[in-house]
Chain A
């Protein structure tokens, strides 16, 4: 049995709410957060995401005993399919991508009894009404109590239409808002990207909000479902040692790196319209920064956490066109070698315009104008076709006020570094100076390296497992709120606009397998700093 999910989640969202009478047998048990009986409706169920992520996540939750017995799944999509075929489709996903394999036949068979498929076009209201009938029947037969979780596994352009259909078919209301007095909740999970600039994000949020209230909406940023991101909060607020030095008085600068070794891998068309800034910085990198930099929340609960993250984002200074040229470097990879594989130039990838100027790399310097962080630069970089796959936040501390050992012949002592690795090899590394044994005074930096994997030999759940369970329980802590999304776009919009207007500096080229263009190094050298080589 795994021992996960003991995160405290006292105050849940108001839709359906915590149970009125507690189950006395639940007290003290391993799984303190059992979701209520519910049906998960996957819109666009025949796609890749269902097979790769959702089916394995559901199966692993089932094996761990996290799903209530009544739990049911309904696939909803355009393609003609029987229940049996849809079950086989999910099963293929488990067979191929689950962290627990091989599949346990009889358990899967039993689970599959609660999996159904409903064919329908998203623009056909009757299809949604039929879906509604099917859901009512499942409520009756399987006791799912009117609770529905809609997973929109479709391109974001379809979100507005789908939520309107959900409303028209009477499927969107929760609790007391339901017309016929029936109980139960409705929630909706959407995937990124949430818009492509601030205007489109606001429009999208507005359109979804016309149907669902904010506490019904769960925006997935799968980075937030990762254990180490949650550990960041424990590291900062569960220890007395770090928080007192977590500010401008002791911290010199912060670097956030999200590096991928792969190129665009068949997503050429999508990526060419998106670029690294929208694809990674808008969500993952800024969320990491917010988790790193936020003030201690009053309580460890969803609304407080998200309020604090928003405060960080609000304090980020928006850039003028001149700032963009100075503080942002964009790059695009040309052919090179990564991990022993030859990667073609970005412009030679399928579905990419031959004169594309989409950035596959971006490095930027942000400043957070808050009491805690004023004057501390935050350097963010992300890119494709970089030498290693790594996500980390590293903190460089200020040097000691006196170079005490300079006189003893040790001129430059390296600054202390604290690196928090998110993936792979999740862990924390502290770099500090130590005296080399022997006569004289020689100082060398040594690493103190803590890895979660060698302290807890327990498999971590996949981010989707954590997030799906949270959405079923109704805990939005690890999902992004509308105002966070919009604020992140407000930070990036000036950069996107400056680039679109042709100013803001050139697009630099870098060889696949390098750490981006030299201009990215110059960005730090100017401040007498250097990127960490993770």
Chain B
């Protein structure tokens, strides 16, 4: 049904079938992954009960043949820590989901339910395939997960919760990962989010960042929201905070007066970042998301308020004046076309402050999977050092999001600040 949003479908049954086929080809890669430990079970026009009973038989004695999944000849003692519901709105997402999920298997024993739902499609209401995967970890240890791929067509697609609920492992946290731009207004979105304990999104995928973040701020989840774009900022947060861990630099913190953030735009675009739905680059819908979250993180930690718009957001560039406790702060965010890092990733951060002994500057510059960190303060020669900045893969980001089960109040404060900054960053005619 989400594909109906992103692909116009004026009764083009042929192209719909093609898309569907393509999605399935990609999703079948789950079943064929090297880590597969039991034959893939697949059935067209099946029932939820059939899927349920196949899942149950995976790990138990199945007739004379013994259990399907064994470890050292013994039935595998399965550990499981969570349910994951993943929606696949379109072909592009299918590719991304497969890649990410295969990477994830190493980290979390889980049951993953992948949903391809199309309200307007014809054909059987439910097709399903089930596969089980185990990865070796630390010698003999096995981390296992099950993958259930469900294609839901027609009216059933509007009632996904009834299909998913019986397939969840009881009493485990349930997470809903919604790759792409979530259809915040759709009842299906509400249904699934309601089933989960936690919603995982990537704000860089939002077609309208401000609207998306506003919606996030009003969603009330039991254990909050995981934003992969926020997770990507982990090292940036850490390195920035490190400057001010040292007591001698702490005093510069209230006196910061300029923050310059540079981030990567897709290489081709020198102008407006692309937001067309057929753009194939994931994370390119709102490449400014990470920079915006980083800026609003500092601002919300240090209690900076919006003061004036110097340059509204244009061509990925934005300049605002913020009001700090002791000083006015210039916030400058600048997108630079780059093919070295994924679109949206930060390239550098420069913080400047006034001190008793003159200006101080704190710099983090990304250089591939390392960063150069420098501080120039106290009249001391610039301290330079090189540190690791391996930005995690999407699988790792997802894995980290799955490990948390709390509200992240720091994130939530940053999101609130970001919506305020973004609304004042709109060009004059749009600002409201």
**Could you tell me which B residues sit within 8 Å of A by CB distance?**
77, 79, 81, 106-109, 135, 137-144, 234-235, 237-248, 250, 253, 298, 301-302, 370, 373, 375, 380, 383-388, 392, 400, 403, 408-411
Contacts and interface: CB of A to CB of B under 8 A. Distances in A.
B237 A107 contact: no
A69 B253 contact: no
A69 B107 contact: no
Contacts of B244: 23, 25-26
B242 to A, nearest CB: 6
A25 B240 contact: yes
B298 A453 contact: no
Given A1-B235, A104-B370, 17 more contacts: A25-B241, A25-B244, A25-B302, A26-B241, A28-B411, A34-B242, A36-B246, A36-B247, A62-B387, A69-B243, A142-B383, A425-B140, A453-B143, A454-B79, A454-B137, A454-B144, A457-B143
Given A68-B246, A145-B248, A455 B410 contact: no
A412 interface: no
A449 B141 CA distance: 12
B79 A37 contact: no
Contacts of A107: 370, 386-388
A449 B109 CA distance: 15
14 contacts: A1-B400, A25-B298, A25-B302, A26-B241, A28-B409, A30-B237, A36-B246, A65-B387, A107-B386, A110-B384, A110-B386, A145-B246, A453-B141, A457-B107
A240 interface: no
B386 A455 contact: no
Interface residues of A, number: 45
A458 B137 CA distance: 9
Given A65-B388, A425-B141, A457-B106, A145 B238 contact: no
Contact of A23 (B138, B250, B375, B409): B250
Contact of A65 (B235, B302, B370): B235
A355 interface: no
Nearest to B135: A457
A70 interface: yes
B234 A1 contact: yes
B386 A69 contact: no
Contacts, number: 128
A199 interface: no
Given A1-B234, A425-B141, A454-B141, A29 B400 contact: no
A449 B410 CA distance: 38
A1 B385 CA distance: 19
B246 A110 contact: no
Contacts of A451: 77, 79, 141
A143 B410 contact: no
Interface string A24-47: 111111110010110000000000
A155 B220 CA distance: 59
Most buried by B among A21, A24, A68, A109: A24
Contacts of B375: 69
A29 B241 contact: yes
A203 interface: no
A459 B240 CA distance: 26
A189 interface: no
Contacts of A145: 246-248
A435 to B, nearest CB: 15
Contacts of B138: 453, 459
A382 B341 CA distance: 54
Going nearest first, the 9 A-B pairs with the smallest beta carbon separation are: A453-B141, A28-B410, A110-B386, A25-B241, A455-B79, A457-B143, A457-B137, A110-B385, A449-B77
A3 interface: yes
A23 B237 CA distance: 12
B403 A455 contact: no
A424 B246 CA distance: 39
A69 B77 contact: no
B10 to A, nearest CB: 47
Interface in A1-27: 1, 3, 19, 21, 23-27
A106 interface: yes
Nearest to A104: B388
Interface string A64-86: 01001110000000000000000
Contacts of B234: 1, 30
B387 A454 contact: no
Given A23-B253, A25-B298, A34-B245, A110 B387 contact: yes
Contact of A19 (B107, B108, B139, B247): B247
Given A104-B388, A451-B79, A457-B137, A70 B247 contact: no
B388 A63 contact: yes
A34 B243 CA distance: 11
Contacts of B106: 457
A113 interface: yes
B324 to A, nearest CB: 12
A450 interface: yes
Contact of B237 (A25, A34, A459): A25
A378 B224 CA distance: 46
Contacts of A26: 241, 244-245
Contacts of A19: 247
Given A31-B238, A455-B109, A69 B409 contact: no
A25 B400 CA distance: 20
A24 B392 CA distance: 25
B323 to A, nearest CB: 17
Contacts of A1: 234-235, 392, 400
B133 to A, nearest CB: 13
